[in-house]
Amino acid sequence: MTRLTPDLIECVPEGKLALDDTLMKYTGHTMKSMALHAAGLPEDTDLSGITASVVPITSGMGIIGGFSQSVDAILRRLGIRSHVTEGTDVLGFSKAMDSGDDLVFMADDSMFVAYNVRERKYITNFYGTALGYATALDLASGGIKGKEALVIGAGFVGSRAARILRDMGADVIIADKICDKGKSVAAELGVRYSCDVEGTLSKNKNVLNAAPAIFPGRLIAEGAVISSPGVPHYYDEEGRRKASCIIHDPLEIGVATMATCSVAFFHHKEDASR
Ligand code: 2YC
């Protein structure tokens, strides 16, 4: 799991990433409407009745400058009444409980969760990111059902994204540079796998890149739709020219989809997979 750094998220609070412009152009949705769509909620759902606490966590490698503020800003952009707790860690969590907030967001070095207090269920950032970016690929590709979809990376996000794309009806291939990793996830999901990441990438037009890897433009298929949560994120000029679209952000789509999936617990009771 790649750890975010302050420089990657410093412009998230002001929303300067123009993410909505990119998403509107390629998916016909804003970040908010896409996240609601991903969670199976009506795209005009009013979230202003939802309250959330974001609890800074100091364990392990500690606070990431701007992280809690970025999560808080993303939730506010969805219309959720959010705030960062004054206390950190358990004190912060106790304040979140005392506030009676519906949702609690907190992340240590291993796990980032949105906890729905009333339903006593949580959504991980792995699942929120996988669902958000699989939804972006589905929308930007004009509907992924019946089409080939390449998932690069069989880790926490990639393996969940492969399952979600399979359930959307895509013909999924999963590729990981560690061949056995891709092979075992493919066997578990009943999808195809490849050990030749570069060769498979160059042949696929619908790609979800969940690997912390940078791929040269010579490998990008002409007209490829690339949904790309992986950090570090970079595509060279040739890659950017050949792709029909590249969708990426450091935090927003994942957090927004965590939030809408957490809210969805109030609407339908079955457990979203994590
Ligand atoms: O500021 C804080 O509360 C820190 N404890 C937050 C640590 C987040 C560590 N995780 C990451 O950097 C990202 C996640 C957003 C998803 C994967 N890596």
Per-residue pLDDT of the chain (274 residues; tens, 9 = 90+): 789 999 999 989 887 668 999 999 999 999 999 999 999 999 999 999 999 999 999 999 999 999 999 999 999 999 999 999 999 999 999 999 999 999 999 999 999 999 999 999 999 999 999 999 999 999 999 999 999 999 999 999 999 999 999 999 999 999 999 999 999 999 999 999 999 999 999 999 999 999 999 999 999 999 999 999 999 999 999 999 999 999 999 999 999 999 999 999 998 755 555 6
Distance 125 CA to ligand 1 centre (A): 10
Q: Is residue 104 located within the same domain as residue 172?
A: no
| Sheet strands side by side (includes 103-107) | 81-84, 51-55, 103-107, 112-116, 121-124
| Sheet strands side by side (includes 206-209) | 192-194, 171-175, 148-152, 206-209, 225-227, 245-247
Distance 108 CA to ligand 1 centre (A): 6
Enumerate residues lining ligand 1, CB below 6 A: 1-4, 56-57, 63-64, 67-68, 107-109, 112, 125, 251
Q: Is residue 119 located within the same domain as residue 171?
A: no
Of 5, 57, 58, 67, the residue with max ligand 1 atoms within 8 A of its CB, to mutate for a pocket test, comes to: 67
In a domain, 1, yes or no: no
Of 70, 71, 109, the residue with max ligand 1 atoms within 8 A of its CB, to mutate for a pocket test, comes to: 109
Its pTM stands at 0.97
Query: Which position has the token pair 């075992």?
Result: 184
Q: Is residue 256 located within the same domain as residue 218?
A: no
In a domain, 104, yes or no: yes
Distance 3 CA to ligand 1 centre (A): 6
What CATH number is given to the structural domain containing 70? 3.40.50.12150
Distance 112 CA to ligand 1 centre (A): 6
Q: Is residue 137 located within the same domain as residue 234?
A: yes
Q: Is residue 28 located within the same domain as residue 111?
A: yes
What CATH number is given to the structural domain containing 234? 3.40.50.720
d(C-alpha 153, C-alpha 133), whole Å: 14
Q: Is residue 96 located within the same domain as residue 182?
A: no
Q: Is residue 146 located within the same domain as residue 73?
A: no
Angle subtended by helix axes 19-27 and 31-38, to nearest 10: 60
- Closest among 64, 55, 148 to 109, alpha carbons compared: 64
User: Residue 52 sits in which domain range?
Assistant: 6-125+252-273
